[in-house]
């Protein structure tokens, strides 16, 4: 069992999102903040682009040697007293984690933020087996109360407004006085802090994700601003790390390179508040810390991406900058993408992991403006990769008939320049006749465009004709 894929319904999801007033309010608010904060942080670091280049090259080196770095990592985790478990797919990862929880007779599990556990559908899996997972990242806690999934990599509750959070807290925290004041965001935060503090102290097992795994030392690395991941892993009997295989980096110095990029590009901080390197379980003389340390390494389709057209996607460090700068994400939010990963990175990764049959809609949800590639800290050519998926979707006849015939029709003209020139100049004259000097409100066969916006009536000549004139004049 893994999280259900709702991506084939992208078009319907997007339409619903555009009509959702709460969501539109939340999206409008978040857009500017992310962009401005990142820009300010990047401008303060003159070496930023040089670090990006080295991070890109380093990731390529890691991926080309992934088997060997994973072997080294495994050896060093074991040497530090930890346990390594390998999971080829989501089901296997869930079984392993449930096995550990069951052996420890765990009733509740505290969870730090983990997109990999979203991928495997871990929470539902544990709940069905009588174990209660409690999300401790504030954003994840909010959406868990709402029965939703994250809509953004680093801001899972991006789509929720303050008023909605207040209503959720009143519904869930029934032991607290109903007349309490929750008008201010600070009172919401204080209430969540108090509620979750009890849960941290009571949890039997702590599960966190990993931002990086360090081969040199067998360490796992998490970054948080809240400190929830640290309480999760420090207070429980066992710390289980769930991570995907491409998160491994060679050394501590290499981790520093990625850490200099991650927070800046994600949230505009030089560094997240807490960057935690964990190596094994509680040691002799330690007064605190978990008694067991486990790492569950999930493949779930990633190894298929190596050595192929989509390998570059595995460079991703999950900062969220691509979606923060994406006009499509700004319009429809994260849930419309229908699986775990939204935005441009989701549009490339989803078909890679769940198949182009189910995820093939997503790479079409792009204006190809290129901002995602511009801001990607590891320089993933996201538009190129989306184009690869579009080609594959076309080759495999997965598009609707209208799109295919439309393309064939256009290609028939595009391949014959004389015909193309003649047809466009006629079409232009017709459009000018309809629209005059202004705008066209409705066009037969193009209602998909004119339903939401006017079509500008062409003025003057075609581009090709103008170009020809200029060349002659020179």
Partner 1 sequence: MKGREAVFANIKKSLRVSGEDRARREAIAARLERHPRGVVPARGQKADRERLELFRQMVEVAKASIAVLDNKEEVPAAVAAYLRSKNLPQSIRHGDDERLALIPWAKERTLEVTKGASDGAQLASVSYSFGAVAESGTLVMVSGADNPTTLNFLPDHHLVVVDEKDIAGDYETVWDKIRECYGAKGMPRVVNWITGPSRSGDIEQTHLLGAHGPRSLHVLVVRST
Distances (CA, A) of 166 to 12, 135, 403, 432: 29, 18, 45, 54
Nearest to 323 by CA among 115, 140, 114, 153: 153
Residue 134 binds to partner 1 (criterion: CB under 8 A): no
Candidate ranges 262-270, 325-333, 380-388, 461-469; the one touching partner 1 (CB under 8 A): 262-270
Residue 3 binds to partner 1 (criterion: CB under 8 A): no
Residues 63-92 that bind partner 1 (CB under 8 A): 64-70, 72, 76, 80, 85-88, 92
Candidate ranges 248-256, 329-337, 345-353, 358-366; the one touching partner 1 (CB under 8 A): 248-256
Q: Smallest distance, Å, CB 128 to partner 1? A: 22
Candidate ranges 268-276, 395-403, 418-426, 432-440; the one touching partner 1 (CB under 8 A): 268-276
Residue 54 binds to partner 1 (criterion: CB under 8 A): yes
Residue 123 binds to partner 1 (criterion: CB under 8 A): no
Residue 142 binds to partner 1 (criterion: CB under 8 A): yes
Nearest to 216 by CA among 72, 355, 409: 72
Contact string 170-209 vs partner 1 (x = CB under 8 A): ---------------xx-xxx--x--xx--xx--------
Residue 108 binds to partner 1 (criterion: CB under 8 A): no
Q: Please give the Cα distance from 67 to 86 (Å, whole number).
A: 13
Residues 378-407 that bind partner 1 (CB under 8 A): none
Helical pair 66-79 and 48-64, crossing angle rounded to 10 deg: 90
Residues 34-53 that bind partner 1 (CB under 8 A): 34, 45-47, 50-51
Residue 118 binds to partner 1 (criterion: CB under 8 A): no
Q: Do 189 and 225 touch, CB atoms closer than 8 A?
A: no
Q: Smallest distance, Å, CB 215 to partner 1? A: 6
Among 94, 144, 208, 219, binds partner 1 (CB under 8 A): 219
Candidate ranges 54-62, 202-210, 364-372, 404-412; the one touching partner 1 (CB under 8 A): 54-62
Output b/e per residue, 127-160; b: 16+ Cβ within 10 A. eeeebebbbbbbbbbbbbbbeebbbbbbbbbbbb
DSSP 194-208: HHHHHHHHH-SEEEE
Q: Please give the Cα distance from 421 to 415 (Å, whole number).
A: 11
Among 9, 56, 98, 162, binds partner 1 (CB under 8 A): 162
Q: Per this entry, what is the length of the chain?
A: 474
Give the binding-site size for partner 1 (rule: CB under 8 A).
102
Candidate ranges 9-17, 283-291, 393-401, 460-468; the one touching partner 1 (CB under 8 A): 283-291
The token pair that represents 56 in the structure block: 């890109």
Q: Please give the Cα distance from 343 to 373 (Å, whole number).
A: 12
Helical pair 417-435 and 401-414, crossing angle rounded to 10 deg: 110
Q: Please give the Cα distance from 234 to 281 (Å, whole number).
A: 10
């Amino acid at each position: 069992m893994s999280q259900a894929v709702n991506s084939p319904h992208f078009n319907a999801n997007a339409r619903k999102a555009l009509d959702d007033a709460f969501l539109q309010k939340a999206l409008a608010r978040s857009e500017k903040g992310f962009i401005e904060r990142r820009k300010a942080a990047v401008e303060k670091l003159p070496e930023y682009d040089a670090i990006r280049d080295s991070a890109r090259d380093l990731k390529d080196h890691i991926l080309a040697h992934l088997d060997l770095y994973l072997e080294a990592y495994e050896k060093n985790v074991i040497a530090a007293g930890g346990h390594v478990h390998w999971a080829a797919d989501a089901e296997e990862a869930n079984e392993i984690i449930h096995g550990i929880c069951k052996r420890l007779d765990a009733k509740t599990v505290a969870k730090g933020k983990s997109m990999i556990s979203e991928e495997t559908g871990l929470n539902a899996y544990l709940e069905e087996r009588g174990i209660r997972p409690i999300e401790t990242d504030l954003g994840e806690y909010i959406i868990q109360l709402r029965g939703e999934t994250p809509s953004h990599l680093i801001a899972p509750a991006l789509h929720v407004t303050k008023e909605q959070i207040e209503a959720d807290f009143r519904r869930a925290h029934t032991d607290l006085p109903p007349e309490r004041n929750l008008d201010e965001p600070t009172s919401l935060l204080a209430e969540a802090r108090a509620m979750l503090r009890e849960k941290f102290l009571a949890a039997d097992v702590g599960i966190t994700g990993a931002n990086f795994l360090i081969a040199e030392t067998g360490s796992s690395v998490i970054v948080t601003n809240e400190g929830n991941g640290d309480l999760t892993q420090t207070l429980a009997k066992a710390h289980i790390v769930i991570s995907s295989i491409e998160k491994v980096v060679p050394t501590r110095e290499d981790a520093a390179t990625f850490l200099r990029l991650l927070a800046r590009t994600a949230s505009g901080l030089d560094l997240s508040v807490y960057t935690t390197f964990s190596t094994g379980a509680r040691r002799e003389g330690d007064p605190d810390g978990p008694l067991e340390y486990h790492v569950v390494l999930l493949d779930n389709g990633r190894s298929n991406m190596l050595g192929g057209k989509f390998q570059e996607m595995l460079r991703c460090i999950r900062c969220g900058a691509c979606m923060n700068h994406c006009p499509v994400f700004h319009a429809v939010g994260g849930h419309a993408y229908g699986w775990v990963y939204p935005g441009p990175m989701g549009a490339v990764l989803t078909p890679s992991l769940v198949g182009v049959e189910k995820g093939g809609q997503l790479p079409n949800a792009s204006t190809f403006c290129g901002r995602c590639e511009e801001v990607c800290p590891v320089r993933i050519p996201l538009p190129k990769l989306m184009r690869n998926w579009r080609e594959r979707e076309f080759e495999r006849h997965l598009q609707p008939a209208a799109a295919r015939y439309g393309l064939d029709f256009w290609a028939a003209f595009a391949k014959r320049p004389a015909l193309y020139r003649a047809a466009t100049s006629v079409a232009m004259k017709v459009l000018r006749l309809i629209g005059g000097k202004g705008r066209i409100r409705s066009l037969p066969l193009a209602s998909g465009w004119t339903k939401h916006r006017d079509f500008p009536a062409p003025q003057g000549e075609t581009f090709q004709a103008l170009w020809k004139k200029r060349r002659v004049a020179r």
